[in-house]
Each structure stands twice: as structure tokens, then as C-alpha cells.
Amino acid sequence: MAWRSPRLAAVLAALPLLGASAPVVRVGLDRIESDRAGVLRGKRVGLVVHAASVSADGRHAIDVMRAASVNVVRLFTPEHGLAGRAAAGEKIEGGRHAASGLPIVSLYGEKTRPSVADLAGLDALVVDLQDAGVRFYTYSSTMLLCLDAAAEAGIELVVLDRPNPLGGDRWDGPPRGPESEVPLSLVSRAPGPLVHGLTLGEMARVANAARAKPARLTVVAMEGWARSMRWRDTGREWVAPSPNLRTAEAALAYPGTCLVESTRATEGRGTEAPFLLIGAPWVDADALASVRSPGFALVKERFTPRASEAAPSPKHRDVECAGVRVSVTDPLATRPYELGLRLLQALRKQAGFGWTREGALDWLVGTRRVREAIERGDSVETMLEANAADLAAWERERAPALLY
């Protein structure tokens, strides 16, 4: 059972029964507009945003800030760019925002963190990003690099908090290994296990507490969010934070199904349901459909990946694949990391299996341990149990940083 802050009881007491009439969770951005204390009032700010940086009524953070008379002087964008349409790994150029005329600094291209010059003249760097709750989703790394840059520049870092779509009551998977084992990258900076169970604001608090030179950190917390919530409970519309993470259902499967990316099977890029369609021309769909994992159902399906803006060169492009469609049957029961292990285990037993390149899975999960266990033929239960001590340590480490 995850540690819960004393505030949780009060939050739960304030909520009616969740369902069709559930209230809309107010994220940090929503609170800025009505903030009488003026967290950002009178400050020159840089704004780290993407397509999902929207208010409850669908307005983008740029417009919300300007309407609230916040002096935004510079925009910063993570992977996938401001519009959220660039494919995974596609380098993003800077430029100017057409509607506002504000300069845009890309943090996914030639550089991955703001430079001293980028932060010159700013009083605060504001991060408003929708994360996916898993270490290899690069937005947590972008936020952490911004935290370091703000600390070095002597300016405030303000995180406008948003829900973790996986909830905050479960954490799973291995911690990252040492840099001598897997080089540090944008998919491996976040501390804790692969599925960390934190919001980005809480992640910033954990990381800042461990810094030799901490930043001046402010987290504008949400109102109405509880750790047991999944996205359906927030009352908010899902806005894709990246071009292939298109639904809240896909977000629940993503930490597991994305592991298939490291193999010669496809994780569904180039289809209408990325991270929910798994397969390859050589897959035995009956065997793959026999995989069982809490909260998920797998049903046989045939599909053909096609090139698109979101997936310019998908695996098995224009070739019909046999495989499965993953669906969520119980959001509260899902254990996506376990699902990913079971998929990898099932695929490895098939004749066409192979890794996309040496170390592909290591790079994704931040350690060699998982691949080595799969190649040894360890059971999923053994692989999960191997993380027990690290997960218990993470529960203690993260406890002081929890906001909800």
C-alpha cells in the first residue's frame, strides 16, 4: 500500500462519488488564473509547454497566462514540439510562436536544457507539461534539466502540476542502473522505479531535495486530485501529450506496451491505436492472446502499419501483421509494467523474435537487469520480486515530497 499524506483524507471527503457527475480536477494552470496571491505576478517568465498544456476549458497555457497578465517573454518546448505533432525522436527547431510572436527555444534538438543565455532576464521558469508517469517518457527528464538550469541561474522554477494518468498509488519496475551500465539520457533521468507514482510537481520535490544546490522551487498543486484517481475520474478531457499517446486507455498500457518497441514486433505506431496494437508478420496471435495481466484483456487482431506524420517509418510498414489488441478492463487493477514483461516473455518464445538493436531494452528501462532476466528465462514473478527492496526504499524516499 502506498504512503498517503494527511491531506488525502480531506481531499476524498470533499469529493462526491466519482462517476458521470465527478468534478473537474483543477490543475496548476487553472489555479494560476484565479490566483489572488499572484505566484507569477510581476515576474518575467519562460514557459515550458506543449500541446497538452491546456486549462479545464481547453485554452492553451500561453493564452491563459496572457489573460492573467503574466509576463511571458519566452517559450520552451520539449520532445514533439509545441503543437505535439513531431514524431518520436524527431529533432525540434526553435523559432517564433505565430499567434503571440514569442520566441521558442527547443529543448529537444541541439540541446536538451536551457542555457544561461536562454534564461537571461527571467525571474522564473514555469513548467506546465502533461507527463505519462513512466521514466522513459521524456518530459520528466526535461523538467529535471530545467530544475538544474534554474538552480544554476538563480531563478525560480515553478511547476504547474497535472495528474499522473496512472494514478499515484502504485509504483513498479526497476530503478535505473549506474551510468557505467546504461548512459544517462532523456529516457532515464527520473529517480525511483520505472513507474514512479508521482506527479511532475512531486518529482521536482523529490529531485530538488537531493540536489547539492537546490533550486527555488514552487509547485502550484492541483485541487480535487487524489492518488487513487485514473484519468476517467478527473473530469478532464484527454489531450494527447504526444502524437502516439492518443487516449487515456493507451496511457494505462503505455509503460508496458512501449517495451515492445525494443523488439522486432511493432507496438502499434502507424496504426489507429498506438500502444494498444501489438504484433508482427511472424507472430502467433493465439499464443500472444493467451497473455494474462491484471486489468487488461488481449484479443487477436490483424492490422497493417502505415506511414503518417506521427510515425513516418513504422515497423512492418505496409505489411499485414498478426497480433493482439490490448484493452483496459479495470483501470484500478492495471499493472502495465507486468503486462510489458509478459508480452516480452511471450514474444521471445516465437521464432521471429529479436531485439531491434543491442541494448535497446536496456536503454529504454535504464538497466541491463530486465533484458538479462528475460534472456535467462526468468519467470515474470521472479522479475517482479527482484524489485521488491528497491520499491520499498522508494516508498520511504518519496513520502516527504507527496502533495496529495
Q: Give the span between the Cα atoms of 98 and 86, in whole angstroms.
A: 17
Dihedral sign of CA atoms 317, 318, 322, 325 in order: positive
> How many angstroms separate the CA atoms of 316 and 281, rounded?
8
Candidates 208, 210, 254; CA nearest to 364 is 254
At residue 199, φ and ψ (nearest 5 deg) are -80, 170
H-run or E-run covering 193 = strand 193-195
pLDDT digit string, tens, across residues 44-58: 999 999 999 999 999
Quick one: cell of 217?
522551487
| Cα gap 148→139, rounded to integer Å | 14
Q: Dihedrals φ, ψ of 40, to 5°?
A: -110, 5
pLDDT tens digits, residue range 347-394? Answer: 999 999 999 999 999 999 999 999 999 999 999 999 999 999 999 999
Q: What is the mean pLDDT of the chain?
A: 93
Residue 183 has pLDDT above 70, yes or no: yes
pTM score above 0.85: yes
Do 125 and 155 form a contact (C-beta atoms < 8 A)? yes
CA distance 141 to 190: 6
pLDDT in tens, 328-352: 999 999 999 999 999 999 999 999 9
Mean pLDDT of 321-327: 98
Residue 163's alpha-carbon distances to 26, 31, 45, 116, 203, in angstroms, are: 10, 14, 23, 30, 12
Domains of the chain: residue spans and CATH: 7-239+394-401 (3.40.50.12170), 248-387 (3.90.1150.140)
